[in-house]
Structure formats: structure tokens, C-alpha cells
């Protein structure tokens, strides 16, 4: 599993280097108050990275956090029940 992760990381790194090297044209990005200049390859990689990060954040907020809350609520009654000492019905007051 570790070797697979390393292999995927190396392949992504090589793909990024290729995209950067094969797209050296300069592009300008106007943000209204500032204009940025970068190569097309770097711009593509940054846009891809931003999309992955934003998508991951949306997934975490919309799926992962609600599932964690459901799990916490499902485990709460079990934790509360195990904290009480067991009652012995044979020895009543």
C-alpha cells in the first residue's frame, strides 16, 4: 500500500512537471485590483489544486462532518449507559 502511494505521488509529480514544461506561454490573470502574470502550466496546476481543495472542503462539510455527528450521537447513549453501575434487581430497598 505504501509503495502504491509513493508511485501515485511520483506519477502526479511527473505529470505536473510535464504540464509546466509543455505550456511555457505567459498568461495574465486580472483580479480587478491586481494583474498576475504566470506561465500557462503553472496557472493550470494552481487552478487544478484550488479545485481539489475546494471540492475536498465541500465534501468534508457536507458529508464527513454530518456523519461524524451521527456517529457521536449514536455512541452517546452507549457511553452513558456504561458509566452507570449495574443495578442488582434482587437487592431492592
Contact of 27 with 38, CB cutoff 8 Å: yes
pLDDT digits (tens, 9 = 90+) for 49-69: 999 999 999 999 999 889 999
Of residues 77 and 28, which shows the higher confidence score? 28
Q: What does the pLDDT read at residue 57? A: 94
Nearest to 48 by CA among 25, 20, 22, 77: 20
Neighbours of 81 (CB within 10 A): 9
Judge whether residue 40 has pLDDT over 90: yes
Name the strand (E) or helix (H) holding 47. helix 40-59
State the chain's mean pLDDT as an integer: 85
Q: What does the pLDDT read at residue 87? A: 63
Cell (9 digits) for 45: 496546476
pLDDT digits (tens, 9 = 90+) for 71-83: 888 887 776 565 5
Place of cell 493550470: 44
Amino acid at each position: 500500500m505504501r509503495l502504491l502511494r509513493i508511485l501515485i505521488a511520483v506519477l502526479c509529480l511527473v505529470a505536473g512537471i510535464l504540464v509546466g514544461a509543455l505550456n511555457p506561454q505567459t498568461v495574465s490573470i486580472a483580479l480587478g485590483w491586481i494583474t498576475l502574470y504566470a506561465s500557462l502550466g503553472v496557472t493550470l496546476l494552481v487552478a487544478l489544486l484550488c479545485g481539489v481543495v475546494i471540492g475536498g472542503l465541500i465534501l468534508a462539510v457536507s458529508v464527513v462532518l454530518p456523519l461524524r455527528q451521527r456517529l457521536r450521537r449514536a455512541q452517546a447513549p452507549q457511553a452513558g449507559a456504561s458509566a452507570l453501575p449495574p443495578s442488582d434487581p434482587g437487592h431492592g430497598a
